Amino acid sequence: MKAGWQVKTLGEVIQLPYGKPLAPNDRNPNGLYPAYGANGEKDRTDKFYRDSPSIIVGRKGSAGEITLTEDRFWPLDVTYFVEFDHRQYDLQFLYHLLVTLNLPSMAKGVKPGINRSEVYALPVMVPPLPEQQRIVSLLDEAFDGIATAKAHAEMNLQNARAIFESHLQSVFSQRGEGWQDKTLEQISMDFGRGKSRHRPRNEPKLYGGKYPFIQTGDIRNAGHFITEYSQTYSDLGLAQSKLWPKGTICITIAANIAETGILGFDACFPDSVIGVVPNPAEAEVGFVEYLLQSFKVRIQALGQGSAQANINMGTFDNERFPFPVVEEQRRIVTKLDDLSEETQRLEFIYQQKLTALDELKKSLLHRAFSGQL
The reported pTM is: 0.67
Task: Report the C-alpha gap between 31 and 41 in whole angstroms.
Answer: 12
Q: Which of 307, 323, 339 is the last residue of a domain?
A: 323
Q: Are residues 364 and 278 in the same domain?
A: no
Q: Which of 125, 281, 252 is nearest to 193 (CA)?
A: 252
Q: Are residues 39 and 100 in the same domain?
A: yes
Q: How far apart are the first and last CA of the chain?
A: 12
**DSSP output for 18-31:** B-----GGGB-TT-
Q: Please, how many CA atoms are within 13 Å of residue 95, restricted to the half-sphere of its CB?
A: 16
Q: Sign of the C-alpha dihedral, residues 46, 51, 55, 59?
A: negative
Asked if 84 and 11 count as a contact pair (C-beta separation under 8 A), the reply is no
Regions of the chain where pLDDT drops below 50: 306
CATH number of the domain that 118 lies in? 3.90.220.20
Q: Are residues 302 and 341 in the same domain?
A: no
Task: Report the C-alpha gap between 153 and 159 in whole angstroms.
Answer: 10
Q: Which of 194, 187, 191 is nearest to 243 (CA)?
A: 194
The domain in which residue 353 lies consists of 128-157+327-373
Q: Are residues 147 and 272 in the same domain?
A: no
Q: Left if phi > 0, otherwise alpha if psi is -120 to 50, otherwise beta: which for 208?
A: left
- Is residue 174 assigned to a domain? no
H/E stretch holding 126: strand 123-126
- pLDDT value at position 21? 95
Q: Are residues 34 and 72 in the same domain?
A: yes
Q: Are residues 121 and 144 in the same domain?
A: no
- Is residue 170 assigned to a domain? no
Strand segments (E) across 173-292: 180-182, 188-193, 207-213, 225-226, 231-233, 249-252, 260-263, 273-278
Number of domains in the chain: 3
- pLDDT value at position 200? 60
- Is residue 315 assigned to a domain? yes
Q: Are residues 310 and 190 in the same domain?
A: yes
Beta bridge pairs of residue 207: 233
Task: Report the C-alpha gap between 224 and 286 in whole angstroms.
Answer: 8
- Is residue 254 assigned to a domain? yes
Q: Are residues 90 and 152 in the same domain?
A: no
- How many C-beta atoms lie closer than 10 Å to residue 345's C-beta? 11
H/E stretch holding 15: strand 14-15
- Is residue 145 assigned to a domain? yes
- How many C-beta atoms lie closer than 10 Å to residue 318's C-beta? 7
Q: What is the pLDDT of residues 2-48, one digit of tens each?
A: 778 899 999 999 999 999 999 999 999 999 999 999 999 999 999 99
Contacts of 345 (CB under 8 A, 6+ apart): none
CA distances from 339 to 163, 166, 245, 293 (A): 9, 11, 27, 15
